[in-house]
Amino acid sequence: MLKAAVIGVGSMGRNHVRVYRELEGVELVAVSDQSEETAAHIGAVYSVPHYTDYLRMIEECKPDLVTLAVPTDKHYKVGLDLIERRVNLLIEKPIASTLDEATELVQSARQSGVILAVGHIERFNPAVIELRRRLREGMAGRIYNIHAQRLSPYPTRIRDAGVVIDLASHDIDLMRYLLDQPITRLYGETLRSINSDREDMFNGVLRFQSGAVGVLDVNWITPKKVRMLTITGTRGMFSCDLLSQELFFYENETAPSQWDALSVLRGVNEGNILGIRIQRHEPLAAELADFVGAVRSGGKPTVPGSDALETLRIALDFMRSAEEQLIVNLLDTNVVGVAEQML
Ligand SMILES: NC(=O)c1ccc[n+]([C@@H]2O[C@H](COP(=O)([O-])OP(=O)(O)OC[C@H]3O[C@@H](n4cnc5c(N)ncnc54)[C@H](O)[C@@H]3O)[C@@H](O)[C@H]2O)c1
């Protein structure tokens, strides 16, 4: 039995508590929150000890692994405290607020031999798992375009991060994971519409080494929750609804093949539409099972800290691009030109 605990049992942390409680080979030993009321409530619901001081909890309960689900601007301080005490940890996404903080977390975990996983949960969405498998088999052919739409109403509880690092980091991570190649340049635009402190609307364009183009459309200003991903290649288009865990493939009937030299001249044509059967499961349960497995085996989790650091780097580059109206070239990390060059 591995002993698990959760620090920060607000809206996301309490899901971790529930899932640890149901996970085989894991014993939920305690919860901690700086709010006595919140900690006591969740402790009582799950009949485990609760703490407002997480250091005391670590000392007394000695968990083997901990989920850190405090607000993003606290990930660094609490995360380092845990790493210093050699506690394996899963930090909710994004890994931290700044690149320096994230880098220190990753380096300290490496030096201390601590497993550091990050909660980029979409990698555990069963529709994404199936999509990735089929992309690798070449079902869509050569990829031209990946398009992510993540639209939401405004979340009043998030006060420490804007929509780029809080929400778009999901899609940046997904694009990196699905295409599995370096991003060579990017350009972003943001808007502060409802929230005057931080951006709540983001549009970004990025280019991968293969030439594929990624487009991100992410905001907190939409009265409908949308989580869609489309990927277009030579052989057709995948359409994935991340919320309903549905995956479709729209075949390009005239996809070029080695037997039909003329097909390229006919362009793209509507072909069959394939609904792909998905074995649905809760992504968080798969994410925590993956983390627990890495702790047990000493292996690498599906989202190691180093990977989340790269995703944060891209998110922050998008912010810089938007603020300074620049195209950011990522191969040599130099800014190569002004926005007008895109036109
Ligand atoms: N993976 C996902 O899809 C997903 C979804 C939602 C939130 N998140 C991430 O989870 C984290 C928490 O977000 P949330 O929406 O649950 O926020 P929240 O405000 O609902 O909960 C945060 C909790 O942490 C507690 N807290 C704050 N500082 C603390 C400290 N120093 N020690 C102990 N407890 C402390 C607060 O009292 C609160 O109960 C954020 O990093 C967010 O980005 C991830």
pLDDT by residue (tens digit) across 226-276?
999 999 999 999 999 999 999 999 999 876 565 555 555 567 888 899 999
Q: Using alpha carbons only, give the angle 91, 96, 101 rounded to the nearest 5 degrees.
A: 115
DSSP letters spanning 264-300: GGG---EEEEEEEP-----HHHHHHHHHHHHHHHT--
Mean pLDDT of 285-302: 97
pTM of the model: 0.93
Give CATH 3.30.360.10 domain extents, the chain.
Answer: 123-281+315-328
Per-residue confidence band for 337, with pLDDT thresholds at 50, 70 and 90: very low
pLDDT surpassing 60 at residue 333: no
Task: Let me know: does 33 contact 5? Beta carbons within 8 Å.
Answer: no
pLDDT surpassing 80 at residue 44: yes
Q: Which CATH architecture has domain 2-120+284-304?
A: 3-Layer(aba) Sandwich (3.40)
Give CATH 3.40.50.720 domain extents, the chain.
Answer: 2-120+284-304
Verify whether ligand 1 is closer than 6 Å to residue 200 (CB atom): no
User: What pLDDT is stored for residue 254 in this prediction?
Assistant: 73
Task: Let me know: does 330 contact 185? Beta carbons within 8 Å.
Answer: yes
pLDDT surpassing 50 at residue 94: yes
Verify whether ligand 1 is closer than 6 Å to residue 12 (CB atom): yes
| Candidate of 6, 11, 80 to mutate for ligand 1, largest count of ligand atoms within 8 Å of Cβ | 11
| CATH code that applies to domain 123-281+315-328 | 3.30.360.10
User: What pLDDT is stored for residue 225 in this prediction?
Assistant: 96
**Candidate from 10-14, 43-47, 330-334 with smallest mean pLDDT:** 330-334
Mean pLDDT of 124-153: 97
pLDDT surpassing 90 at residue 282: yes
Q: Give the count of alpha carbons within 13 A of 78, CB side only.
A: 30
DSSP letters spanning 214-239: EEEEEES--SS-EEEEEEEETTEEEE
Q: What is the pLDDT of residues 143-174, one digit of tens each?
A: 999 999 999 998 876 677 899 999 999 999 99
CA-based nearest residue to 198, from 163, 166, 174, 167: 163
User: What pLDDT is stored for residue 332 in this prediction?
Assistant: 60
- Atom 41 in ligand 1: residue holding the nearest Cα: 72
pLDDT surpassing 70 at residue 277: yes
Looking at the chain, the whole-number percentage of residues with pLDDT higher than 90 is 86
The whole-angstrom separation of Cα 195 and Cα 192 is: 6
Verify whether ligand 1 is closer than 6 Å to residue 37 (CB atom): no
Mean pLDDT of 129-133: 98
